[in-house]
Amino acid sequence: MRRDRISMVVAMMSAMFALLGPSLALGQAPDLSKVELRVTKVAGTVYMLDAVTGNAGGNIAASVGADGIVIVDDQYAPLADKIRAALKSITDKPVRFVINTHYHGDHTGGNAIFQKDAPILAQDNVRKRLEAGGEAGNGGTLHKVAPPAPKEALPIITFEHDVTVHLNGEDIRALHFPAGHTDGDSIIYFPQSNVVHMGDDFVTYGFPFIDIDSGGSINGMIDGVEKAVAQLPADVKVIPGHGAVSTLDDVRAYVKMLKETRDVVQKAIDEKKTLAQMQQEKILAPWKKYAGPFISDDVYVETLYNSLTGKMNGKFVKH
Ligand SMILES: [Zn+2]
């Protein structure tokens, strides 16, 4: 194995940690002992918890008020004590509900622990995928097996389209958008505070991960994010699945990139180019700044190709 190939594999594996969680990555718990969580007030009742250093899974949103705490996502199980301590620094009140944006382990890893405190709510497919276990990946070279989650980690309340939690003077809306990052994505909107948590349908680390193996698709991601943008106030504060608090303009720039890159790959497919040709020709070179260690330009082209042709792990599937 050449050295650049080894370092690429190492980078991929550490990124899989960041995005899919330890259970999906190497089958062992990562060292999260050095992770420091920080609490940032976003607006109104809503705070964001993320890591000062190191990987600590997806961003957590917390609505804190007279009725207690509603959290969105719960990172990894080994961080549960740190999450609790961070919440305690804001309020002594209990967690009342946990909402999962989707099933990936870096957003649901703490479920079994937090469900001792409060019920977990999620879209139907989150529970199904956690319960069954299965595969995650881009329908090609990015591929991992997710073991089934224990019963305690399964959301005990599920919904098909949307649900509203009325606490803290807030009508917290979980809105399902099908077939984007996965087939169980919800964005969580706090209308009174004017904040939205986008889950992994919007991230700031570059090209997104589209989990085709878990029912995700590029067109679903574009549709979902565009619908969300159309419904949200212009000055809403946006919590991405991963990354810093953003604006709706940041989300618009991201959708623009998704559409442009999709169109370039679709055009190449129409011209009967193979995936290898597209990668060789670096057809996404104008968007190179979005390429990262996990979703490189080659992995992203492959993702778009598989999503647009209906190709998954060597087979053609109907979406
Ligand atoms: Zn995810």
CA of 309 to the centre of ligand 1 (A): 22
Q: What per-residue confidence (pLDDT) applies to 26?
A: 30
| pLDDT tens, position by position, 46-67 | 999 999 875 679 999 999 999 9
CA angle 215, 218, 220 (to 5 degrees): 65
C-alpha 295 chain-centroid distance: 14
**Average of pLDDT values for 182-211?**
97
| pLDDT tens, position by position, 75-114 | 999 999 999 999 999 999 999 999 999 999 999 999 999 9
CA of 319 to the centre of ligand 1 (A): 20
| pLDDT tens, position by position, 70-81 | 999 999 999 999
pTM of the model: 0.90
CA of 200 to the centre of ligand 1 (A): 5
Query: Would you place residue 315 in the very low, low, confident or very high pLDDT band (cuts 50, 70, 90)?
Result: confident
CA of 65 to the centre of ligand 1 (A): 28
CA of 2 to the centre of ligand 1 (A): 30
CA of 270 to the centre of ligand 1 (A): 30
Q: What per-residue confidence (pLDDT) applies to 16?
A: 47
Q: What per-residue confidence (pLDDT) applies to 293?
A: 87
For 50-65, the three-class secondary structure string (H helix, E strand, C coil) is EECCCCCCCCEEEEEE
Q: Look at residue 12 and tell me whether its pLDDT is greater than 80.
A: no
CA of 104 to the centre of ligand 1 (A): 5
CA of 156 to the centre of ligand 1 (A): 20
Q: What per-residue confidence (pLDDT) applies to 30?
A: 59
Q: What per-residue confidence (pLDDT) applies to 55?
A: 66
Instruction: Tell me how far apart the alpha carbons of residues 38 and 61 are, in angstroms, rounded to a whole number.
Output: 12
Q: What per-residue confidence (pLDDT) applies to 25?
A: 37
| pLDDT tens, position by position, 32-46 | 888 899 999 999 999
CA of 102 to the centre of ligand 1 (A): 7
CA of 272 to the centre of ligand 1 (A): 31
Q: Look at residue 21 and tell me whether its pLDDT is greater than 50.
A: no
Alpha helices (runs of H) in the chain, residue ranges in sequence order: 3-20, 22-25, 80-88, 105-108, 111-114, 124-132, 218-231, 248-270, 275-280, 297-309
CA of 122 to the centre of ligand 1 (A): 14
| pLDDT tens, position by position, 202-216 | 999 999 999 999 999
CA of 203 to the centre of ligand 1 (A): 10
182: exposed, middle or buried (C-beta count within 10 Å: 0-12, 13-18, 19+)? Answer: buried
**Average of pLDDT values for 2-18?**
43
| pLDDT tens, position by position, 132-184 | 999 999 999 999 998 999 999 999 999 999 999 999 999 999 999 999 999 99
Q: Look at residue 270 and tell me whether its pLDDT is greater than 70.
A: yes
Q: Look at residue 261 and tell me whether its pLDDT is greater than 60.
A: yes
Strands 195-197 and 186-190: antiparallel
CA of 208 to the centre of ligand 1 (A): 9
Q: What per-residue confidence (pLDDT) applies to 302?
A: 98
Counting residues of the chain whose pLDDT is more than 90, the rounded percentage is 83
Phi, psi for residue 138 in degrees, rounded to 5: -100, 20
Q: What per-residue confidence (pLDDT) applies to 311?
A: 87
CA of 271 to the centre of ligand 1 (A): 32
CA of 19 to the centre of ligand 1 (A): 6
CA of 169 to the centre of ligand 1 (A): 29
